[in-house]
């Protein structure tokens, strides 16, 4: 998708009412969990994030979210110049999740993902 269309889409998504944005986000996350390939999942979710933050809506439980639940209070989106004890930058989670789910225990991670879907 070209950048002007992506900006238009994100503008439209950013203007949705919180309840509608939450429903759409849940549907997009379910489609992504079911290996849907037709929609630009990340682009849509990026456009919805500002509305979802304001609405404080419940998020669909994904394998990654459930993996992070025990330490979610330690996660931060604020980049730091220096490491800070007891804080984990959200951007550092995806490489760890990929390593766990693709290299360390791929069969268990796959079974976990299937269990979350049902």
Sign of CA dihedral 44, 46, 47, 51: positive
Final residue of a structural domain among 38, 55, 72:
55
- 81 with 46, same domain: the answer is no
Domain that holds residue 31: 3-55
pLDDT digits (tens, 9 = 90+) for 17-75: 988 998 898 889 888 878 888 999 989 998 998 888 887 666 678 888 889 999 988 88
Give strand pairing partners of 26.
Answer: none
pLDDT digits (tens, 9 = 90+) for 70-100: 998 888 877 777 778 888 888 889 999 999 9
Residue 12 has pLDDT above 70, yes or no: yes
Residue 116 has pLDDT above 90, yes or no: no
Q: Structurally, how many domains does the chain consist of?
A: 2
- 50 with 85, same domain: the answer is no
- 30 with 67, same domain: the answer is no
- 48 with 81, same domain: the answer is no
With both helix axes pointing from N to C terminus, report the angle between 3-14 and 41-55 in degrees, rounded to the nearest 10: 30
- Tell me if the pTM is above 0.75: no
pLDDT of 56 reads: 66
Final residue of a structural domain among 55, 76, 99:
55
């Amino acid at each position: 998708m070209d950048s002007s269309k992506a900006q238009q889409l994100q503008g439209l998504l950013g203007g949705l009412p919180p309840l509608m944005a939450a429903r759409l986000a849940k549907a997009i996350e379910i489609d992504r969990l079911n290996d849907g390939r037709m929609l630009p999942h990340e682009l849509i979710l990026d456009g919805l994030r500002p509305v979802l933050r304001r609405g404080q809506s419940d998020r669909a439980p994904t394998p990654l979210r459930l993996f992070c639940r025990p330490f979610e209070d330690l996660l931060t989106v604020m980049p730091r110049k220096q490491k800070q004890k007891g804080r984990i930058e959200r951007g550092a989670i995806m490489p760890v999740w990929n390593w766990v789910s693709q290299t360390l225990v791929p069969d268990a991670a796959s079974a976990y993902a299937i269990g979350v879907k049902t």
